């Protein structure tokens, strides 16, 4: 409902323009453009709802192919594996009879081969879990129109026009915001205890850090949410982002964390899939350095018992239960699926009782409730600036480009939409994959 309401707000804003003294022609143009955005979303939802249902599948005949970029030793993939196992148990399925697993499949033609092998073994639905799998997954969808193909974290399904190709992503930025709140409460405790030193300062601001994988919108959206959550508790902070240029690189993530510690960062978050950063932070804590870690996907307390606060995570069981159930019933799977705290699709791992500030659990519960009812909006434009100015407009091009040649080539043309609606940057409204790419003040990328 929040997304439908946000889309309708586009029309409401344009109505105000029409009544504000702008020319009739200007108002008409604005209203027509806004109405077009809403009409497309409504038409898409209606067509999905009206699509003819396939025959329900017997559980004994139902097979799902799961093509994973990693295995249980890599946090991001581990969260998918656990989500799938919980989903099949909830639906009365079994791994042995209903799931074909493909582990550690790289983002290459091997992904296509793995998907096809799943189909040849009787799978009628195939899932991939990495953005780099998407091109190959879509190729499979094109060549096998009777097979449903779902590319996690992808962004081309709607633009492709394929009835059997789907994208899904959680609103993980919400969990990152809450994880930032946890970090902010800890930082305030350190301030009150006089444990923030000159090394931790950049002028009047306290230095925090973030280990990021790539400078993609997914990562930018996440680190910005983390920063804003922390900043809601301690306003005078600046954040260094250190990239590893890899989703999973234990050594690179350790080195990035150590570099941030050496620059005086006292809290370090991450969008990287290993325990490398928390382990490095734990080692420094053992040496007497005051620094704390916020992880991603999995509980980092075993890797950093004296440093970890919590981790932001995806509750993938929500999506897999929905998608498996729809496929079993012969129902249409949504082209773009994205949910957050409102449907418990994101979470925090257990708070580390040995490190978090007193009262954190109660404070966090209140923040989550406010995210659920809309009292708090992660990307409220009153809470950040770009170039010293409030952001009044943020146009997002939903066209999919091929950058492999160094210059953008249009693959699937898409709309350019206004992402700021009623003072909020509406992330994951126009597609499931994140598109927040603003570089806000207070954050420096390395």
Q: Reply yes or no on whether the pLDDT at 427 is more than 50.
A: yes
H-helix or E-strand containing 420?
strand 420-421
Report the candidate in 133, 181, 132, 188 with the shortest Cα–Cα distance to residue 341: 181
What is the pLDDT at residue 404? 73
Q: Reply yes or no on whether the pLDDT at 221 is more than 50.
A: yes
User: What is the rounded distance in angstroms from the CA atom of residue 282 to the CA atom of residue 268?
Assistant: 12
Q: Which residue has the higher pLDDT, 359 or 399?
A: 359
- Is there a contact between 414 and 209 (Cβ–Cβ < 8 Å)? no
Tens of pLDDT along 192-216? Answer: 999 999 999 999 999 999 999 999 9
Q: Per the structure block, which two tokens stand in for 374?
A: 């809309």
pLDDT class for 55, splitting at 50, 70, 90? low
Exposure of 352 in the CB half-sphere (CA atoms within 13 A): 25
Q: Reply yes or no on whether the pLDDT at 30 is more than 60.
A: no
- Count other C-beta atoms under 10 Å from residue 259's C-beta: 16
H-helix or E-strand containing 370?
helix 360-373
Compute the average pLDDT of residues 205-233.
97
What is the pLDDT at residue 405? 77
Tens of pLDDT along 374-419? Answer: 999 999 999 999 999 999 999 999 988 877 777 888 888 889 999 9
pLDDT class for 146, splitting at 50, 70, 90? very high
Please tell me the pTM assigned to this model.
Answer: 0.85
What is the pLDDT at residue 24? 38
User: What is the rounded distance in angstroms from the CA atom of residue 413 to the CA atom of residue 52?
Assistant: 27
Q: Reply yes or no on whether the pLDDT at 232 is more than 70.
A: yes
pLDDT class for 32, splitting at 50, 70, 90? very low
Q: Reply yes or no on whether the pLDDT at 19 is more than 70.
A: no
What is the pLDDT at residue 75? 87
Q: Reply yes or no on whether the pLDDT at 104 is more than 60.
A: yes
What is the pLDDT at residue 53? 45
Report the candidate in 344, 267, 337 with the shortest Cα–Cα distance to residue 308: 267
**Cα→Cα distances 382→12, 208, 262, Å:** 20, 22, 33
Q: Which residue has the higher pLDDT, 401 or 430?
A: 430
What is the pLDDT at residue 52? 42
Q: Reply yes or no on whether the pLDDT at 91 is more than 50.
A: yes
Q: Residue 100: CB partners within 8 Å, gap ≥ 6? A: 63, 64, 65, 66, 117, 118, 121, 123
Compute the average pLDDT of residues 228-256.
97
- Is there a contact between 225 and 232 (Cβ–Cβ < 8 Å)? no
Considering the chain, what is the average pLDDT of its residues? 90
Question: Most confidently modeled of 28-32, 48-52, 73-77?
Answer: 73-77
Q: Fill in the DSSP letter of residue 213.
A: S
pLDDT class for 8, splitting at 50, 70, 90? very low
């Amino acid at each position: 409902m929040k997304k439908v309401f946000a889309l309708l707000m586009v029309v409401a804003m344009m109505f105000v323009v029409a009544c504000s003294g702008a020319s009739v022609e200007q108002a008409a143009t604005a209203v027509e453009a806004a109405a077009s955005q809403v009409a497309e979303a409504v038409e898409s939802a209606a067509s999905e709802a009206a699509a003819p249902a396939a025959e329900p599948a017997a559980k004994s005949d139902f097979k799902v192919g799961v093509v994973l970029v990693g295995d249980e030793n890599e946090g991001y993939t581990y969260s998918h594996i656990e989500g799938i196992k919980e989903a099949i148990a909830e639906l009365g399925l079994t791994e042995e009879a209903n799931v074909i697993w493909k582990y550690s499949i790289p983002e290459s033609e091997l992904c296509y081969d793995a998907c096809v092998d799943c189909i040849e073994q009787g799978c009628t639905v195939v899932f991939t879990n990495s953005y780099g799998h998407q091109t190959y997954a879509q190729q499979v969808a094109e060549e096998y129109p009777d097979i449903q193909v779902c590319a996690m974290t992808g962004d081309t399904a709607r633009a492709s026009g394929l009835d059997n190709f789907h994208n899904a992503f959680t609103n993980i930025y919400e969990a990152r915001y809450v994880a930032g709140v946890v970090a902010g409460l800890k930082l305030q405790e350190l301030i009150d205890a006089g444990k923030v030193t000159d090394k931790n300062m950049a002028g009047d601001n306290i230095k925090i850090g973030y280990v990021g994988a790539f400078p993609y919108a997914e990562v930018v959206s996440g680190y910005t949410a983390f920063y804003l959550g922390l900043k809601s508790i301690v306003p005078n902070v600046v954040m260094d982002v250190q990239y590893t240029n890899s989703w999973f690189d234990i050594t690179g993530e350790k080195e990035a964390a150590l570099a941030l510690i050496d620059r005086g960062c006292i809290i370090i978050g991450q969008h990287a899939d290993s325990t490398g950063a928390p382990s490095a932070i734990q080692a420094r804590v053992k040496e007497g350095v005051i620094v704390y870690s916020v992880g991603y996907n999995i509980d980092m307390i075993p890797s950093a018992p004296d440093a970890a606060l919590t981790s932001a995570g995806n509750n993938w069981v929500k999506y897999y239960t929905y998608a498996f159930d729809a496929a079993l019933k012969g129902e249409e799977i949504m082209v773009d699926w994205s949910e957050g705290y409102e449907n418990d699709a994101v979470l925090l791992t257990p708070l580390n009782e040995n490190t978090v500030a007193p009262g954190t659990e109660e404070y966090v519960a209140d923040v989550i409730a406010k995210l659920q009812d809309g009292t708090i909006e992660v990307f409220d434009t009153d809470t950040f600036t770009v170039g010293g100015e409030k952001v009044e407009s943020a146009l997002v091009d939903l066209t999919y480009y091929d950058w492999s040649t160094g210059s953008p080539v249009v693959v699937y043309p898409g709309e350019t939409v206004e992402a700021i609606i009623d003072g909020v940057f509406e992330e994951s409204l126009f597609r499931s994959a994140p598109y927040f790419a603003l570089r806000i003040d207070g954050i420096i990328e390395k």
